[in-house]
Structure 1
Amino acid sequence: MTWTLPEPMLAAPVPDPALPAGWAAEVKWDGWRAAVSVEAGHIMLRSRRGTNLLPAFPEVRAGCAQLPDATALDGELVVWESGRLAFERLQGRLQARGAGAARLAGEWPAHYVAFDLLRLAGTDTTRWAYRRRRAALEELFLDRGLTAPWALCPSTTEADTVREWLTWTAVGVEGIVYKQLDSIYAPSVRGWRKYKVRETQEAIVGAVTGSLRTPRTLLLGRYDTDGRLQYTGRTTTLPQAAARSVAALLAPSRGTHPWTGWTFSAGWGSREALDATLVRPELVVEVGVDVARDSTGRWRHPARWHRPRPDLSPSDVVSFGSPG
């Protein structure tokens, strides 16, 4: 039977950073989730959404020569700049190919931070308990003497270490991921937990004010448990650079839209209606919000723009009314 890369195992958000008994903690990096596989000279580097990332990261392709044949890892692509992780540099590399990709690999080299082992020298390890997968991953790094672009994600069962990691936000650490020591790797299952330090959340762009070419603000939504896209709030006025970057990722609505016929208030408690243009509800963005909510769970204050997340799909966004 031919072995194929499994779908990624996922994490559910939790509000408390405390390390549960029987669990290990890992650093949650500000990067791009990716799985890598090497078999008989064939290399795969696949994003969480299934995109082939290999042409954009020739340094990872070259680094695969360090791995044993028939081996696969789960991890995070990151770029380091001026003492911190630079997501914008990473994002800027995704469309590069050929000579352009090689040039960017020299200017902004990516590292692959491995945090799980999916296959080892022909053996499928996804049914192994996390503690066994982790021990084998550490042994792989030690025995093969792996160097750049490979890096090993730290793991701990010590609460004091977790508290220290939570102070690393200035260098681009998003938070902590928790994995049960006796758990297998379950594709597409939210069996892990994650705690995000930053006050940021993801939502889906359903409409804009201004124009599609130059959006002024974004109207954001999340799907409820019945599969309906609910309006959750809008952003403050976008900076010019952000407006340009978002405009390139938006598409006009075609056919029936979940918000067809809806009107949107200019602000919480205001009767003024916004002049909004509907867009395909496909783009996920990350915004900063405060804790103020109305009775339905909508954000009462405008959200602060943070960044687009084209690496995520609408199904990755937590449901309407959830705290995460």
Structure 2
Amino acid sequence: MTDAAWNHIALCCRTGADETVPRRGAARACEQKLDGHRTIVCRPSVRPAGRAGAAPVPARLPGPGPRWPDLLSSAEAQLPADLVPDAELVAWNAGAGHLPFEALQRRAATRARGAPALAARWPAFFVAFDVLQLDGEELLDRPYAERRARLEVLFAEPGWTAPWTLVPMTTDLAKAREWLQSWTDVSGVEGLVVKGMSTR
């Protein structure tokens, strides 16, 4: 696992303006990068310590909340009051087996009356990749490795089912290369995000 190989992987990935390639010698993780809406998930009573480019849920889903009946009902039933995950909001086309961004946009633009039909046709999912608050504790100053571990513990608990899912992650270079090659033709998958395990 060489720095040059990891840096090549990183350069092939689409990253945001606030993201950088981890420093030389640092432990790295690769996550799937999906084509959706980045969304901070929380109950209206929670004021999350937000990050640039994210929008709280259910207070500020893309478009009014009634356009997302499947997500709001799930958040009410499954989301603990003191948990704030950072996630990618995506729509799923089961027949085609991909994540069509245009379907997500259509759901965001529909009127409330047509929302249930679109939810049945293109169900939405929260694909979590980080956790910002847990048990009333802000985690933004904790390293990525710790936050990821806490996410994995949450998803190992019973009761966490669709539309909640955990983004795939690997620290293995061979697996990252395999993902990068196999996902290039998958609609809705943009590539990989490379993160330093100690980054905050």
User: TM-score interval w.r.t. the shorter chain?
Assistant: 0.7 to 0.9
| Correspondence for 1:95 among 76, 84, 109 | 109
How far apart in 2 are the matches of 1:9 and 1:68?
31
**2:141 corresponds to which residue?**
127
Give secondary structure in 2 for the equivalent of 1:147.
coil
2:186 corresponds in structure 1 to 171
- Identity %, equivalent residues: 42
Q: Structure 2 counterpart of 1:63, which letter?
A: S
Considering fraction of residues, name the structure with more helix.
Answer: 2
Residue equivalent to 1:68? 80
- Determine if contact 1:32/1:77 at 8 Å carries over to the other structure: yes
How does 1:155-234 map onto structure 2 within 5 Å? 155-166=169-180, 167-172=182-187, 173-184=189-200
d(CA) in 1 for partners of 2:33, 2:131: 17
Deviation at 1:20, TM superposition (A): 6.9
Greater strand share, structure number: 1
**Partner residue of 2:167?**
153
Q: C-alpha separation between the residues in 1 aligned to 2:101 and 2:126?
A: 13
> What does residue range 275-314 of structure 1 map to in structure 2 within 5 Å?
none
Of the three residues 115, 127, 130, the one matched with 1:113 is 127
Cα deviations across residues 119-151 of structure 1 (Å, max 9, x unaligned)? 112111111110000000010111243111111
Aligned positions of 1:237-316 closer than 5 A: none
Asked if residue 57 in structure 1 is aligned to residue 68 in structure 2, the reply is yes
Tell me if 1:11 matches 2:19.
yes
- Could you say which residue in structure 1 is the equivalent of 2:34? 29
Instruction: Give yes or no for contact 1:32–1:47 (8 Å, CA) kept in 2.
Output: no
Contact 1:118 1:125 in 2 (8 A): yes
Pick the aligned partner of 1:141 from 152, 155, 170: 155
- Higher RCO by CA contacts (8 Å cutoff, separation 6 or greater): 2
User: 1:107 deviation in Å?
Assistant: 1.5
Which residue pairs with 2:3 in the alignment? none
**What is the aligned-residue RMSD (CA, Å)?**
2.9
Deviation at 1:171? 2.1
Q: Which runs of 4+ in 1 moved over 6 A?
A: none
Post-superposition Cα deviations, 1:224-272, rounded to whole Å, max 9, x if no partner, equal: xxxxxxxxxxxxxxxxxxxxxxxxxxxxxxxxxxxxxxxxxxxxxxxxx
CA contact (8 A) 1:66 1:144 kept: no
CA contact (8 A) 1:11 1:177 kept: no
- In the superposition, the TM-score normalised over structure 2's length comes to 0.75
Whole-Å separation in 1 of the counterparts to 2:194 and 2:46: 34
Q: Any idea what the Cα deviations from partners look like across 1:201-220, whole Å, max 9, x if unmatched?
A: xxxxxxxxxxxxxxxxxxxx
Give the partner amino acid of 1:58.
P
Distance 1:102 1:10, change over 3 A: farther
- In our comparison, the structure showing a higher alpha carbon Rg is 1
CA shift in 2, pair 1:10/1:110, >3 Å: farther
Look up the equivalent residue of 2:199 and give its one-letter code.
Answer: S
TM-score w.r.t. the length of structure 1 is 0.48
Q: Which amino acid aligns with 1:78?
A: V
Q: Which moved more, 1:47-56 or 1:112-121?
A: 47-56
